[in-house]
Homo-oligomer: A and B are copies of this chain.
Amino acid sequence: MPTSPDSPWSATSSDIHDAIAEIVSTNREAALATVISVEGSGYRRPGAKMVVEPKGSVAGAVTAGCLEDSVVELSATVLDQGEPHIQTYDLTSSDDPDAWGLGLGCNGVVELLVEPIDESYQPVVDELQSGRSMTVITTLESSVSSTVAGDRAVMGENESVIPSVRGLPSHIVDAVRSSGEDFSAPETRTVQISIDGDPVRILIDRFEPAPRLLLFGGQPDAGPVVNLANSAGFDVHLHTARGGNADPGRFPSASEVTATRPSDVGDHVTRPDHTYAIVMSHNFVDDRLALESLLETEVDYIGVMGPEKRFRQLTDELPIDVDSNRIAAPVGLDLGGDEPMAIAFSIVGELLAAHNGGSGRPLSKQDGPIHPR
């Protein structure tokens, strides 16, 4: 699992998930703030989360710094009362030019759900730790007696509800299902359903396990890639053909360091849709065997270090077809530079772009908004 971030602002969603898991397992008191909706200039999108512990320790952020102090205060109240709370912050109306209202990412209306983290999150923790995605539906506002704010249902991958405490009644879940929402869509959003003519407002929030980097190679230049990928939120599993290189102490931010036969690397892919693979052992024969093994999996990002000519030599001898859409060779974005750190930034930049659907190009040279809305 990713290591703890240096500051709340370095926390990735994997770190937030780890924090929730630890709080649930140790039965500690803490609040979770989730962005429900944003109008205007919002820095974070719906689904962004922040964990607040009673002594003020914080992981994650819901805005660019405009609301975090208020959220810490509100969290204390929520924990005192033991009830979820929905708060709308309207930052558009300030007349003070020094106030946040004129600031980037704070010139909008932000709606937050702040709730105690309790055992109703146990199924979320369990699914994430098993590497599975899920959709969490939570009652925000209700005008019917059969559900109150904070009731939730955790829907696993087959869209069946995983039993939990404070579970949402099945007729509410059925009404959400009937609303035509796509539960596998990644966007966090709200939906209004009607129960016998009375409105209930529901939050639909998707949780994805940390993306996994499967790195084949154990030479020293893997070190900066492992560290940077970890800080970018990837769960790094390193496989090296050489047993002598498989000392976890060499790669402390990897979750797993294993000596693996190159032809068996693909066997370690358990969740191809969340896995990004990189082949960088530097050894020609090993790289070819590992590439062949990975091509037999469903992983659809396989980065191969080295020049295009070497990649052609690697694949010329492969007995199977190579779908170039799955392969990034040479791996990495064109950031220039030849230092190991520059190469690691190039690789992790491409991993992020592949995971989040970015092009890698400068935003200033693209049309359209920074974030898809």
By beta carbon, the residue of chain B nearest A311 is B364
Most B CB atoms within 10 A — which of A105, A328, A362, A371?
A: A362
A170 within 8 Å of B by Cβ? no
* Across-interface contacts of A220 in B (CB, < 8 A): 7-9, 61, 65, 68
* Across-interface contacts of A306 in B (CB, < 8 A): 41, 104-105
A227 within 8 Å of B by Cβ? yes
* Across-interface contacts of A280 in B (CB, < 8 A): 104
* Across-interface contacts of A349 in B (CB, < 8 A): 333, 335, 345-346, 349, 360
* Other-chain contact of A358, B68, B333, B357 (Cβ < 8 Å): B333
* Across-interface contacts of A307 in B (CB, < 8 A): 41, 369-370
Most B CB atoms within 10 A — which of A66, A284, A345, A357?
A: A345
A362 touches B103 (CB 8 A): no
| Chain A 339-371 per-residue mask, 1 if CB under 8 angstroms from chain B, else 0 | 111100110111011011111111110100111
B364 touches A221 (CB 8 A): no
Given A10-B224, A282-B103, is A360 in contact with B340 using a C-beta cutoff of 8 Å? no
Most B CB atoms within 10 A — which of A45, A228, A364?
A: A364
A48 vs chain B, min Cβ distance (A): 7
| Chain A 66-105 per-residue mask, 1 if CB under 8 angstroms from chain B, else 0 | 1010000000000000000000000000000110101111
A49 vs chain B, min Cβ distance (A): 10
A334 touches B348 (CB 8 A): no
A231 within 8 Å of B by Cβ? yes
Please measure, in the bound complex, the distance between the C-alpha atom of A59 and the C-alpha atom of B140, giving whole angstroms: 55
| Chain A 316-342 per-residue mask, 1 if CB under 8 angstroms from chain B, else 0 | 000000000001111111111111111
Please measure, in the bound complex, the distance between the C-alpha atom of A103 and the C-alpha atom of B370, giving whole angstroms: 40
Question: Would you call the interface of chain A mostly helix, strand, loop, or mixed?
Answer: loop
B104 touches A331 (CB 8 A): no
Please measure, in the bound complex, the distance between the C-alpha atom of A308 and the C-alpha atom of B363, giving whole angstroms: 9
* Across-interface contacts of A335 in B (CB, < 8 A): 349, 352-353, 356, 358, 360
A233 within 8 Å of B by Cβ? yes
* Across-interface contacts of A240 in B (CB, < 8 A): none
A353 touches B370 (CB 8 A): no
| Chain A 244-261 per-residue mask, 1 if CB under 8 angstroms from chain B, else 0 | 000000000000000000
By beta carbon, the residue of chain B nearest A68 is B220
A356 touches B337 (CB 8 A): yes
A171 vs chain B, min Cβ distance (A): 35
* Other-chain contact of A103, B65, B284, B359, B360 (Cβ < 8 Å): B284
5 more CB-based (< 8 A) A-B contacts, given A104-B280, A231-B341, A345-B345: A6-B227, A7-B223, A335-B358, A346-B349, A360-B362
A-B contact pairs, 18 of them (CB 8 A): A41-B306, A48-B338, A64-B221, A65-B219, A65-B221, A97-B285, A105-B306, A106-B282, A233-B339, A333-B353, A333-B361, A333-B362, A334-B359, A336-B356, A345-B348, A345-B349, A349-B360, A361-B361
Q: Which residues from chain A sit less than 8 Å from chain B, CB to CB? A: 5-13, 41, 43-45, 48, 61, 64-66, 68, 97-98, 100, 102-106, 219-221, 223-224, 227-228, 231-233, 280, 282-285, 287, 305-308, 310, 327-342, 345-346, 348-350, 352-353, 355-364, 366, 369-371
